[in-house]
Chains A and B, each alone.
Chain A
Amino acid sequence: MMSYKLSVILTALIIILFLPALAHAQLTPPQEFRAFDTPNDDGKSLSLTWKVSLENDREGVYYVISAAASADGPWYQIDKTLSTIGYKSDFPQYFGFGDDNKLWHFYEASKIPDVMDPITSTAYFRLAVTDGTKTVEFPNMVSFAPQGNWFDKSKINILIFVIIFSSLILFFISLARRNPNLFIRHIPGLDAIEETIGRATEMGRPILYLNGLLDMSSLSTIASTSILGKVARKVANYDSQIKVPCYDPIVMSVCQEVVKEAYAEAGRPDAFKQDNIFFITNDQFAYAAAVDGLIVRHKPAANLYMGYYYAESLLIAETGAATGAMQIAGTDSITQLPFFITTCDYTLMGEELYAASAYLSREPLQLGSLKGQDISKAFIIFVLIIGTIVSTAESLFFIHLFKTF
């Protein structure tokens, strides 16, 4: 029994050891050479595949790919690739994670517009295998016309999660329409705003509001302008002043619109001063210098920093802290959070910035979206725990699920 096993192993060893030597003598024509449109692309490339072969795939052997614009040639060599690289399994974004992908060579022909029939946009390919001395060709040529694709299948996992989260949030928004009494916990930084405005009025000093350093196409800035609306409304009620120095002219325009409307809603449109929302310059540190000057000269009672910040955060917030102003910051810029935490009285971290306008408005639909956000986070926690268990069981399912290309 023992010797039988041994002999099998020995035979296998001999085969493995001598196979390359045996194969060295000959090259076989590549098998099952195919051309097709590259999936998930913009229509600029074609894909070629052929079977992995034991005889050909070894050191010193190359596959030679030639292309032409018509079946009659002329043929151009477009590439010469190593026979030991380039498998379908290297491109899970096209072919998924199946095991049999290892059995296929894959080549993406991306520079084909030069060798394409200008009318039918078809390209023709030939494949040969060479070891430097001898060359063997695949008997037939293949052809295909590339197309732009309308759906990127490699992003289907992202699509699924976008749909899950969006529908959760939209569902809770619609639920809030029917049942408007939702519980939302206290966010101390936001509760402090009201008190701050009152204090500013008593001291007869203005409130300073910054929107961060990004333009209007950043969500942090949009969230910030929307918080400004709620703050301005309270400011109008208290008959206080709000100053908004801006870094971007479009943000300035939106802020003017938002504050004007807030004053109108508070029934005091005459108290709105457009000049209080002004543009400084769109240079990071010149803006910081000007805001610093503004803080020390006008000594605002409160400074509100909402939006996205870079290194200037500490320059501004530390100057504000030195004047003794009440400071509330809100940012989703993780790198600057430590500096706001150390210099401000309250800091809204990350998603609290996005929740702030909903919290301040107390509108049921807005609060509903917060509830939806919570359920989505609960879903993430669930996936994290299940995913860890499944990964521990040596399954790659979740790792593949969250793969992006």
Chain B
Amino acid sequence: MTKEQRFTVTRWIIFGLVALALIIPIVYNKYIKLPDTSSRVVKNIYDHIESLPEGSSIIMSIDFDPSSDEELRPMVMALLWHAFKKNLRVIGMTIWDAAAGGTLIDIFTTVAKEAKKQDGVDYAIMPFKPGSSAIILMLSQDIFAAYPQDYKKAETRDMPVFKGVKSIRDMKFAMCVSAGQAVDIWIVYGKEKGKMPLGAGCTGVMATDYYPYLQSKQLLGLMGGLGAAAQYEVLIDKRGTATDSMKPQTVVHALIIVLIIIGNIIYFINRQKT
């Protein structure tokens, strides 16, 4: 075999292995079990929610549109399910226009239905209001000034879900899940003025930009993409789409690492020969 032919054959083998590593876990998804692990940045969020006493208020800002739905929806579903299971009171809001209808309301009503929670008592959904940073500043002073009514035009002041809550300072946790700039805005305005613990969720590609905020303790935890959602699904023991797609992911990652190791072994053997 010439060098070029060897090269081609190696590529075929690699492509074949990748294809198998993808297809087998997809077809036999049910039979594969991943070890239950979680990284500290994700577990921090879980632990915090777990530590909150029943009836505490938290706020979730859902700031992505349908184009990032596949990556971020499982994360929000898992978080919300956890909060409902702990009997926390959850306020849902958005500072992104495109997230208001489909995404925010849809996720909240779906999960609430499953968890048998009541709108206005256990959770509330706020309408979209323009002026992202101004809204968050206002939330840190007076939540009823920012949102006098919920998305169904019901008076927020009268809702049991807001009992004992005046601003986000009274909230025990804020979580922003975003595919854009919303996390930055929450860090700068929400965390600075509201002083509550802040968690962030974002797409996998964006996550690296937020790691410095973990180091500086401005973020309590960070969830990046489906991987983090899968970890959370494991933590709350409610496995869903994210866990399913993590199986082929794990196999492919392992395959690539093994390939790198084999490549280096070949390299060192060849070097020894010459």
How far does the Cβ of B257 sit from chain A's closest Cβ, in whole Å? Answer: 15
Other CB < 8 Å A-B pairs besides A82-B141, A82-B145, 13 of them?
Answer: A81-B145, A82-B138, A82-B142, A84-B141, A85-B137, A85-B138, A85-B141, A90-B137, A322-B7, A322-B8, A322-B11, A324-B4, A324-B7
CB-contacts of A81-108 with B (<8 A): 81-82, 84-85, 90
- Nearest residue in A to B208 (C-beta to C-beta)? A335
Task: Give chain A residues whose Cβ lies under 8 Å from the Cβ of B7.
Answer: 322, 324
How far does the Cβ of B184 sit from chain A's closest Cβ, in whole Å? Answer: 13
CA distance A322 to B141 in the complex (A): 61
The tally of residues in A whose CB lies under 8 Å from a CB in B reads: 7
CA distance A364 to B36 in the complex (A): 63
CB-contacts of A137-167 with B (<8 A): none
CB within 8 Å: A-B pair count: 15
For chain A, what secondary structure do more than half of its interface residues adopt (helix, strand, loop), or is it mixed?
mixed
- Nearest residue in A to B205 (C-beta to C-beta)? A335
- Nearest residue in B to A335 (C-beta to C-beta)? B205
- Nearest residue in A to B3 (C-beta to C-beta)? A324
A-facing mask of B127-141, CB < 8 A → 1, else 0? 000000000011001
Q: List 10 A-B contacts (CB under 8 A).
A: A82-B138, A82-B141, A82-B142, A82-B145, A84-B141, A85-B137, A85-B138, A85-B141, A322-B11, A324-B7
A-B pairs with lowest CB-CB distance, top 9 = A85-B141, A82-B141, A82-B142, A82-B145, A84-B141, A324-B4, A322-B11, A85-B137, A85-B138
- Nearest residue in B to A322 (C-beta to C-beta)? B11
Binding site for B on A (CB under 8 A): 81-82, 84-85, 90, 322, 324
Task: Give chain A residues whose Cβ lies under 8 Å from the Cβ of B137.
Answer: 85, 90
CA distance A85 to B145 in the complex (A): 11
A-facing mask of B4-28, CB < 8 A → 1, else 0? 1001100100000000000000000
Task: Give chain A residues whose Cβ lies under 8 Å from the Cβ of B141.
Answer: 82, 84-85
CA distance A84 to B142 in the complex (A): 9
CA distance A324 to B138 in the complex (A): 61
Max count, chain B CB within 10 A of own CB: residue among A82, A85, A90, A324:
A85
Task: Give chain B residues whose Cβ lies under 8 Å from the Cβ of A84.
Answer: 141
Task: Give chain B residues whose Cβ lies under 8 Å from the Cβ of A82.
Answer: 138, 141-142, 145
- Nearest residue in A to B138 (C-beta to C-beta)? A85
CA distance A84 to B138 in the complex (A): 10
CA distance A82 to B7 in the complex (A): 71
CA distance A81 to B137 in the complex (A): 12
CA distance A322 to B4 in the complex (A): 8
- Nearest residue in B to A321 (C-beta to C-beta)? B7
Task: Give chain A residues whose Cβ lies under 8 Å from the Cβ of B11.
Answer: 322
- Nearest residue in A to B137 (C-beta to C-beta)? A85
How far does the Cβ of B210 sit from chain A's closest Cβ, in whole Å? Answer: 16
A-facing mask of B213-247, CB < 8 A → 1, else 0? 00000000000000000000000000000000000
Task: Give chain A residues whose Cβ lies under 8 Å from the Cβ of B145.
Answer: 81-82
How far does the Cβ of B13 sit from chain A's closest Cβ, in whole Å? Answer: 14
How far does the Cβ of A377 sit from chain B's closest Cβ, in whole Å? Answer: 23
CA distance A84 to B167 in the complex (A): 13
How far does the Cβ of A395 sit from chain B's closest Cβ, in whole Å? Answer: 19
CA distance A82 to B138 in the complex (A): 9
CB-contacts of B92-150 with A (<8 A): 137-138, 141-142, 145
CA distance A294 to B233 in the complex (A): 46
How far does the Cβ of A396 sit from chain B's closest Cβ, in whole Å? Answer: 15
- Nearest residue in B to A62 (C-beta to C-beta)? B145
How far does the Cβ of A58 sit from chain B's closest Cβ, in whole Å? Answer: 12
How far does the Cβ of B253 sit from chain A's closest Cβ, in whole Å? Answer: 16
CA distance A81 to B7 in the complex (A): 70
CA distance A85 to B142 in the complex (A): 10
- Nearest residue in A to B8 (C-beta to C-beta)? A322
